Each structure stands twice: as C-alpha cells, then as structure tokens.
C-alpha cells in the first residue's frame, strides 16, 4: 500500500491510500502503455463504491493479474478518507463536496486534496473509472453515468467506456462545475466513467458482482487484459429519471422492489402519518421501472422517496392521460 500525503494547515494532514499494479511491458511495442485509474469513496458514505474497489483488488490478487496485465492500474479504495471515517458524503474538514472541488482556485482542504490528486495522478491517466453509490438513504439500480462534453471525441470515448462496461442502463447527465468527470473531460479530454451501484449503507453483493464483470469488460475492451467482453443484448441510453417526493412526513413502508416494473396507478407503498393517525398510499404517477428506492423508513414531506424510469411505450400508459411532462428523452 502506498499513500498520497496532503498537507492541510492546522491538521495532521490527510493520507490517501492507493495501490499500483504494473503489467508486463512489451519491449517490441512502440506504443505507450495505457494507465487506468480506478477510485472509490470520493463521497465518504458511499460504501458500495469502496466495496467494489475492494472486490476488484481481491480479483487482481486471486488472478495474479500483474502477470497478465498490459499497462498500469492505479487503484484508490477511498479518496475521501476523513468523510469515510465520519460516514459523511462531504469532507468534514470543510463540509465541502470533494467531487465539486477539482480544478478550483480556493484554498480550502477539499480543493487541496483534489488538486493534489489531479496533479499527481488524474492528469497522467488515459481513462478513469469512478465508483459511487446513492449514499445513506437510497438504493439505486446498477448503471453507468456519462457527461456530455464540448469536445465530441471525449464524449464518444466516455460512451464507448459505458458500452464496454455493459450495464443495461446508461444515463447521460449534464455535470456540475468542479466535478472530476467534467473538469478532466474539459481540460485533458480524458474519459471518466461513473459507476453507480446500490446505497443506503448496505453492501449489495449481487450488484457488486455485476459491476466487477463490467470493469473486467473495460479491461478486455481496451486491451489491458486478453479476453472478450460479455455484453447485454440491449443497452438503454437515458437522459433523465423522474423522482417522486413524499406527500407527507411519517413512517414509510414500501411494497414494490428495486427494478420492478410498475404501471400508472399502482400502489408503491404507504406512509403512516402519526399526527393524523392515518395511512396514505404512495401511488405511481406513470408506467416504468423503479430506478431508486428510499430504504430508510422515515419519510419527510417533499423528499424524494423513489424514482422511475418512464416507459412511454407501455400499453397501460397509452390508455391513460399523459400526467407527467417533466420526464424527457427517456425511451425504454
């Protein structure tokens, strides 16, 4: 294990652990060896991202991957070390989001950490795989996220990574200033694939197995390893999902499960409102697939408690009025 030491004023500094796996160099090849950087835990409460990196490290050790590898893997089990210790999304040293701190000019601890990672590692990588989950309260279906860039080549490369990973769902979303994927794509034209798996502080073993296969797919597609990528028959490229907020504060009981198909009017669950001693049904406003679910049993009025990928071709939907106009560019 190696460490990146980042000096932070008035603290003992931060030590970020990482592992370097270097493959066999082909002396006959005139092309430079590729470097892939894999990270977890940029948000400290996203356990499945960290667990996925661990699963990858276990796989590399079991398969003695360095004997088969072409190129270099830089693997970071957890980037937001202080956030992980406190189980917070943000960096507790300044309460800022590490994934909004890249290529920024302020001198806060998160920016110092992001800039140190940027200078020593990210700018030298040919591609990046960034592993996330949904945080403390919600569980997500496994999917990858890509961000459109002004540079079409970078956008194409990131889409190619998503295709190689092989998740059935790929979501394209506009990123925010300071995000790793946005800044690295904008400045260095480096493709960054974001993997989203599970959440709610629960390790999703089945999802992690699928995600590990996806990472191995990327390695084989880009010739880090020999082999053939195993891809699904169909992949769905989407640009949005519809989040449904709680209508009341109370105790939440969900009846549907993650990934389950629902129709408009179906009961998703119910909320018990103790202030009125009544139970309110949670009803789906559309047809589609449940994309995320809140796994915490306390509902707060106005908070998103589940989301749906709308199926615009559903036979049930065609018989009903079009109620929701906010969902755009989603085709199942």
Are 229 and 114 in the same domain?
yes
What is the predicted pLDDT for the residue at 322?
A: 37
Are 186 and 278 in the same domain?
no
Residues 6 or more apart in contact with residue 137 via CB below 8 angstroms: 199, 200, 294, 295, 296
Is the distance from CB of 282 to CB of 270 less than 8 angstroms?
yes
What is the predicted pLDDT for the residue at 308?
A: 94
Q: Tell which residue, 113, 119, 132, has the closest CA to residue 192.
A: 132
Are 218 and 94 in the same domain?
yes
Residues 6 or more apart in contact with residue 166 via CB below 8 angstroms: 213, 214, 217, 229, 230, 231, 232, 235
Query: Has residue 181 been placed in a domain?
Result: yes
Render pLDDT for 60-106 as a digit per residue (tens, 0 to 9): 999 999 999 999 999 999 999 999 999 999 999 999 999 999 999 88
Render pLDDT for 138-149 as a digit per residue (tens, 0 to 9): 999 999 999 887
% of the chain with per-residue pLDDT over 90: 79
CATH number of residue 288's parent domain: 2.40.50.100
Query: Has residue 328 been placed in a domain?
Result: no
Say if residue 307's pLDDT is above 50. Answer: yes
Structure tokens at 208: 């992690």
Are 8 and 67 in the same domain?
yes
284: containing domain: 240-318
Are 175 and 265 in the same domain?
no
CA distance 51 to 294: 20
Residues 147-172 have a mean pLDDT of: 86
Among the candidates 172, 205, 237, a domain finishes at 237
Cα atoms in the 13 Å half-sphere on the side-chain side of 286: 23
Global pTM value: 0.90
Among the candidates 207, 237, 267, a domain finishes at 237
Longest Cα separation, the chain: 76
Among the candidates 188, 210, 237, a domain finishes at 237
Query: Has residue 324 been placed in a domain?
Result: no
Are 301 and 252 in the same domain?
yes
């Amino acid at each position: 294990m190696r460490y990146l030491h980042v000096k932070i004023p008035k603290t003992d500094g931060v030590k970020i652990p990482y592992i370097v796996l270097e493959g066999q160099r082909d002396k006959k090849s005139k092309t430079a060896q590729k470097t892939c950087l894999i990270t977890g835990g940029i948000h400290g409460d996203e356990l499945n991202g960290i667990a996925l990196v661990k699963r990858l490290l276990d796989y590399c050790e079991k398969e003695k991957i360095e004997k088969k590898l072409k190129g270099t893997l830089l693997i970071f089990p957890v980037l937001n070390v202080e956030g992980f210790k406190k189980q917070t999304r943000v960096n507790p040293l300044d309460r800022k989001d590490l994934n909004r701190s890249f290529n920024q000019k302020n001198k806060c601890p998160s920016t110092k950490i992001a800039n140190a990672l940027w200078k020593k590692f990210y700018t030298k990588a040919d591609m990046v795989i960034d592993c996330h989950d949904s945080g403390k309260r919600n569980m997500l279906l496994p999917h990858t996220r890509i961000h459109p860039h002004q540079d079409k080549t970078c956008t194409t490369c990131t889409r190619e990574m998503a295709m190689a990973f092989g998740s059935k769902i790929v979501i394209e979303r506009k990123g925010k200033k300071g995000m790793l994927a946005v800044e690295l794509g904008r400045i260095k034209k480096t493709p960054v694939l974001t993997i989203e798996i599970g959440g709610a502080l629960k390790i999703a073993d089945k999802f992690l197995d699928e995600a590990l296969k996806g990472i191995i797919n990327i390695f084989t597609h880009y010739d880090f390893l020999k082999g053939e990528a195993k891809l699904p028959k169909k992949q769905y490229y989407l640009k949005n999902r519809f989040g449904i907020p709680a209508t009341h504060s109370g105790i939440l009981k969900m009846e549907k499960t993650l990934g389950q198909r629902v129709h408009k009017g179906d009961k998703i669950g119910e909320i018990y409102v103790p202030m009125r001693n009544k139970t309110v049904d949670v009803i789906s406003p559309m047809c589609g697939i449940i994309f995320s679910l809140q796994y915490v049993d306390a509902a707060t009025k106005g908070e998103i408690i589940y989301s749906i990928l709308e199926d615009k071709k559903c036979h049930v939907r065609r018989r009903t009025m079009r109620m929701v106009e906010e969902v755009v560019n989603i085709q199942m």
